[in-house]
Amino acid sequence: GQSLEQPSEVTAVEGAIVQINCTYQTSGFYGLSWYQQHDGGAPTFLSYNGLDGLEETGRFSSFLSRSDSYGYLLLQELQMKDSASYFCAVDSGYSTLTFGKGTMLLVSP
């Protein structure tokens, strides 16, 4: 089976930095992705890590440690519009993604 664990909710203030962790147990592993979903909207792709290390895309960065079965999404200079749910997802090589249950990020002024 496959399982992913991430916190259900994280709160932060505008301008702060927040880290959303994801640990996984899967039968195969090709990479870890992150998706953002605003309330009532569709999930949209944020980042992908196929190898260990840090990937940076603007204010967002994602990290992967394959040996620890662990990754995180780092959001810097938080803005109100970053309030959303964030999902980690594992590609275990069967043409599909398995998603975590999501972390709701609440950004306050």
- Total residues contacting another protein by CB under 8 A comes to 22
62 binds another protein (CB under 8 A): no
Nearer to another protein, 11 or 77 (CB): 11
| Amino acid letter, 77 | E
Residue of 7, 14, 20, 13 lying closest to 73 (CA atoms) = 20
Binding residues for another protein restricted to 12-51, rule: CB under 8 A:
30-31, 33, 35, 41-45, 48, 50
97 binds another protein (CB under 8 A): yes
Residue of 85, 89, 105 lying closest to 5 (CA atoms) = 89
Give the interface with another protein as residue ranges (CB under 8 A): 8, 30-31, 33, 35, 41-45, 48, 50, 87, 91, 95-102
